Amino acid sequence: MLKYFITNKIFSSSLDKMVPGYFRKKCLKIPNICFVPTNFNKLPLNNHPIFSSITHHKNIISIFNNTQKEVTFKSYDNLINLLNKKYKHNEEFNFLDFGGDQIDQYLILKKNFPNINYFITNQNEINNHFKEIKKTYNFKNLFILSNLDELLINTYDFANFGSVLQYIDGYDELLNKILTKVNGYVLITAVHLYQQGVRAKHVVKQVNLLPNKLYLYFIEFIKIFKDCNFNVVFSEKNKTMDINYKNFNIKEMSDLKYTDILFKKNY
């Protein structure tokens, strides 16, 4: 349709800078467009901005202490229920939060599973925020992994990739290494997956957060899990956003959807 063609032309180029904020929001809101195609073959450097800070984390801790509830938005709101089906309240297990950036994820997990070992890794600045918070509040069983080498020292019972995989260049090579260290489950949430296409990866531009510009991948179903002896436990549509993909050539990407998918190691 013409409106999708025009939207793609405007927002996939540098012309989006010249579009007034009000018109920009109105243009994208009506068809509920969140992403537009690009001609990129890989993600730009320094692609993902950092939205958190030490003060931000301290405010979250203060609110959590008063409410005992999660404070920030999560791409998957059923994590505690899912873990309750896999682990007992007092059971000790290693949880990897790859790309985690909110301290209340640790707090709510620690509340529900007191003996959990919580490992987290992200960009260096975010890692440093967590190190400072851990020191200030003397948080126990919180382990900040500064790089991949530190990550690969440990083994994990549950690995969580919450709306992060699509923002990583070389995510397939990264997964190939991490999966050797996971003995149980891998949860990937809020990822744009399709079953088969003419290309394995499509770089798209995220426009629902303008003027912040982010680029990410639409990903062909992750075959690497089968090669690493993981089976699909469930695959379902993510419920946090209702995304309109009609501005994309769906013929190039069959069964494209915003997906939550859980894998289990097969022994």
Structure confidence by residue, pLDDT tens digits, 114-145: 999 999 999 999 999 999 999 999 999 999 99
Phi/psi of residue 208, nearest 5 degrees = -80, -5
Give dist(CA 187, CA 164) in Å, integer. Answer: 11
Query: By C-alpha distance, which of 143, 151, 92, 149 is closest to 119?
Result: 143
Residue 4 located in a structural domain: no
Is there a domain that residue 111 lies in?
yes
Split at pLDDT 50, 70, 90, the class of 12 is confident
pLDDT digits (tens, 9 = 90+) for 160-189: 999 999 999 999 999 999 999 999 999 999
How confident is the model over 140-152, as a mean pLDDT? 97
Phi, psi of 194 (to 5 degrees): -130, 160
Predicted pLDDT of residue 27: 61
Q: Would you say residue 33 lies in a domain?
A: no
Q: Is residue 246 part of a domain?
A: no
Does some domain include residue 22?
no
Identify whether 12 is part of a domain. no
Phi, psi for 5 (deg, rounded to 5)? -60, -45
Output the average pLDDT for the chain: 90
Using DSSP, state whether 157 is helix, strand or coil: strand
End-to-end Cα separation, the chain, in angstroms: 49
Helices (H), ranges, the chain: 2-11, 21-29, 54-67, 79-86, 103-112, 124-137, 148-151, 171-178, 224-227
Share of the chain above pLDDT 90, in %: 68
Which tokens go with 47? 């692609």
Read off the CATH number of the domain in which 101 is found.
3.40.50.150
For residue 18, what pLDDT is reported?
62
**Which residues constitute the domain of residue 88?**
38-240+251-265
Q: Could you give the CA distance from residue 92 to residue 212 in angstroms, rounded to a whole number?
A: 40
Which pLDDT score, from 0 to 100, does residue 21 have?
Answer: 59
Residues of 177-209 as b/e, b for ≥16 C-beta within 10 angstroms?
A: ebbeebebbbbbbbbbbbeebeeebbbbbbbee
Q: Is the pLDDT assigned to residue 213 strictly greater than 90? A: no
Q: In total, how many domains does the chain have?
A: 1
- Report yes or no on 65 lying in a domain: yes
Is residue 14 a part of any domain in this protein? no
46-103 pLDDT, tens per residue? 777 788 899 999 999 999 999 999 999 999 999 999 999 999 999 999 999 999 999 9
